[in-house]
Amino acid sequence: MKFGRFLIPPALLSLYAWKKYGCRISPRSEIEWSSKLTIGRGVNIASFCKLKSSAGPLSIGAGTQIAPFCFITSHAGGLEIGKDCMIGPSATIAANGYRYDDLDVPIRLQEQTSAGIRIGDNVWIASGCVVLDGAEIGSGTIVTPNTVVSGRVPENSVVQGNPAKVIFTRR
Amino acid sequence: MASETAVQDISSAVIEIAASVFEVAVNELCMEASPETLDTWDSLNHLRLITAIETSFDVRLPMKTVLAIDTIEALVEAVENCRGK
Q: What is the pLDDT of residues A104-151, one digit of tens each?
A: 999 999 999 999 999 999 999 999 999 999 999 999 999 999 999 999
Q: Are A92 and A53 in contact (CB under 8 A)?
A: no
Sign of the four-CA dihedral B46, B52, B57, B58: positive
Q: How far apart are CA B28 and CA A101, in angstroms?
A: 52
SS3 label, residue A59: strand
Tell me the C-alpha distance between B46 and A106, whole Å.
45
Share above pLDDT 70 across residues of chain A, in percent, rounded to a whole number: 96
Kindly determine whether residue A171 and residue B51, on different chains, have CB atoms separated by under 8 Å.
Answer: no
Chain B residues closer than 8 Å to A167 by CB: 44, 47-48, 51
| Contact (Cβ atoms closer than 8 angstroms) between residue A153 and residue A167 | no
Contact yes or no for B47 and A167 at CB 8 A = yes
Does the complex come out with an ipTM higher than 0.90?
no
**In sequence order, which residues have a C-beta less than 8 Å from that of residue B39 and are 6 or more positions away?**
none
User: Residues of A with CB below 8 A from B69's CB?
Assistant: none
- Please name the helix (run of DSSP H) or strand (run of DSSP E) that holds residue B46, with its range, or none: helix B43-57
Mean pLDDT for the stretch of residues B21-48: 95
State pTM to two decimals.
0.89
- Given a cut of 70, whether residue A1 has pLDDT beyond it is no
The per-residue pLDDT for B6 is 66
